[in-house]
A and B are shown apart, each in its own frame.
Chain A
Amino acid sequence: MANIKSVSKKTKAQAMGMHTEVLTGRTQQKFFNPDEAENFYYFGTHDVDFNKRTDLDVKDMTAAEANKEIDNLMGQGYGTIVIKNPQGKHSLGVGILNKLNLIFEGSLGYFGMGSCDGPIVRINGRVGWSCAENLMAGKVVIEKNAGSCFGAAIRGGDLICKGSVGARTGIDMKGGTIIIGGDAGAFTGFMMQRGRIIILGDVGINLGDSMYDGTIFVGGEIGSYGSDAVDAELTKSDQDWLKRKLKVAEIGENFDVSKMKKIVAGKKLWNYDNLEPTEKKGAI
């Protein structure tokens, strides 16, 4: 990725408390620098105009054909694309590394919007397993329900589901925010490393199992806590952030965030040290 550099002083993200772990040894902290956001681009991306709008009916297209056509339309400068008849197809909208307004008039199957960086997406339907996996930046809003592994391994951006989601939401997530308007299934936040998950409804068993870091906020009942997931104090700044986030997400704007539970890693499972694997071998 272009223009990511290590910074010696505290980044904005650190100042906001988004990264609490102390990385030492040879590890280099490389965080996104918002001051350089304008210089952030990928090879092969397009200069699009959000006011230039078009429809794309994918009823008789394969996912590969549909994704290629989306790229083709962005190449023609279309900044707002409305996808008609997605009909639960898998892998639609994957790999978009562009600023884009993308609207799906219907539901997606598995792996929808995977590995994206930058688009603003609204899905007026449901999504299947692994929606927005590896999302880097942007915003994905799902109007209905979502399947399991929602937001797996995301690194940034906002991922919002107004309905309920399946199991393992935010598994292995490394940043960003996931917001759920309804309930969430078992193993939510499983092995999450950074980022935040907000669930307004109930959540299933083993919440935050083996989480390394990050924060989970729950408005309803918790089935059970996973290994090393512990309660933490909900601070005033947490509440302010939650209110802001829910408002921006157009979800639960009037929700009483003061009663939410905050869950973090107990950090008893941590097994980090300062040695690289090769050095560790030498030390043994």
Chain B
Amino acid sequence: MCGIAGLIHRGKSSKVGHELQGMLQALKHRGEDSTGYALYGDTDGKNFIMRFKVGENVGEGSTSVAEDVSVYDERKKIVDGYLNEMEAKIIKEERILPYSLRYEIEYNKKDLLEFSQKIESIPGVEILSMGKSLEVIKDLGNAKMVCDRYNLDKLVGTHAIGHARMATESGVDIKSAHPFWGYPFSDVSVVHNGQLTNYWNNRRALENKGMRFMSECDSELIAVYLAEKMRDGASLEEGMKESLTGLDGVFTYFVATKDSLGMAKDTMAAKPLVLYESDDLVAMGSEEIAIRSILPQEIDTYDPFDGEVKVWQI
């Protein structure tokens, strides 16, 4: 089933980590195999923040194979070496969990494709996000568990999207968890609720064009699809509108960039979405209770219609 939630503050910052945690926790009955956050924090915008993993969580319910922690250390060393080779200077380094790291990097080249390909050429290493304000955090368990594990409660920012996953079409692991980074674009992330029925056709076509997939989760296609459209010069909104016909199946998805948040709903309107919009806040989720977790007072909400695409700026 899966649940998605997102919010954007317009004209101010807020504790988006805490707010999104509340929204996703309210949706935990829609799936708690894994939970993911894409948080757009307040930064000075100078350096890149790279969230990456050097292994999988092999805890309860995981479909991944256990590895020795020494393997993670070895992979981290290679990452560090490659960063040095590419003249990417590590400003700050945090090892949040044995398999999960956060680097603040000074890197002056604009093209992240070559950078990402180099890092991800290391077996078992995946960049979860790369951006100047975006941080993707995803792991097994429900929203509260992931939030506590990664200390997200205090993160201040302008907007965020998140996903509570019930694994159906791929494994219970971090690589199949949402959000997906819109590789190789800085600060682009996607969450999705639904099933895409032309996944393999689209994937083959996109791979032939040089796009990269890290999982076999159909939702990853949306991120790659939009990234390819943007690579070809389309705006985010144009790419999203094209996705209504380019992607087959049932879907509601959110996409976020450094300064915007968007939603798209398929032409069958088969997947739920409730939306609240005011001058200073947009909040949306698979169910109204997600919005109620941050706005308990009586508010006006509505369901966007079939085939609707909306984008809001901060």
Residues of A at the B interface (CB closer than 8 Å) are: 87-90, 105-107, 109-110, 125-126, 128-129, 144-148, 163-168, 183, 185-187, 204-205
Contacts and interface: CB of A to CB of B under 8 A. Distances in A.
A229 B302 CA distance: 28
Nearest to A85: B296
A166 B267 contact: no
Contacts of B289: 87-90, 109
A148 B269 contact: yes
Given A89-B289, A147-B274, A167-B306, A186 B298 contact: no
B68 interface: no
8 pairs of A and B residues whose beta carbons are closest in the complex: A88-B288, A167-B269, A166-B303, A186-B306, A145-B302, A88-B292, A88-B289, A147-B303
A185 B269 contact: yes
B50 to A, nearest CB: 38
Nearest to B287: A109
Given A88-B289, A109-B288, A186 B269 contact: yes
Nearest to B271: A148
A112 B154 CA distance: 35
Contacts of B307: 186, 205
B301 interface: yes
Nearest to A165: B303
Contacts of B300: 126, 144-145
Contacts of A185: 269, 303, 305-306
Interface string B296-314: 1011111101110000000
B291 interface: yes
A146 B274 CA distance: 10
Contact of B298 (A107, A128, A148): A107
B287 A128 contact: yes
B268 interface: yes
Nearest to B290: A88
Given A148-B269, A166-B269, A167-B269, A128 B288 contact: yes
Nearest to B308: A185
A149 to B, nearest CB: 10
Nearest to A127: B288
Given A89-B289, A148-B272, A183 B298 contact: no
Contacts of B305: 166-167, 183, 185-186, 204
A187 B268 contact: yes
Contacts of A89: 289
Interface in B62-117: none
A204 B306 contact: yes
Nearest to A125: B298
Contacts of A167: 268-270, 305-306
Nearest to A166: B303
Contacts of A183: 305
A87 B287 CA distance: 11
B270 to A, nearest CB: 8
Contacts of A164: 302
A126 B301 contact: yes
A144 B288 CA distance: 14
A107 B298 CA distance: 7
Given A125-B298, A145-B301, A183-B305, A88 B269 contact: no
B301 A107 contact: yes
16 contacts: A87-B289, A89-B289, A107-B288, A107-B298, A128-B288, A129-B272, A145-B300, A148-B269, A164-B302, A166-B305, A167-B269, A167-B306, A185-B269, A185-B303, A185-B306, A204-B269
A87 B267 contact: no
A87 B302 contact: no
Given A128-B274, A164-B302, A204-B269, 10 more contacts: A88-B287, A88-B292, A89-B289, A90-B289, A109-B288, A109-B289, A144-B302, A166-B303, A167-B306, A186-B307
A125 B288 CA distance: 12
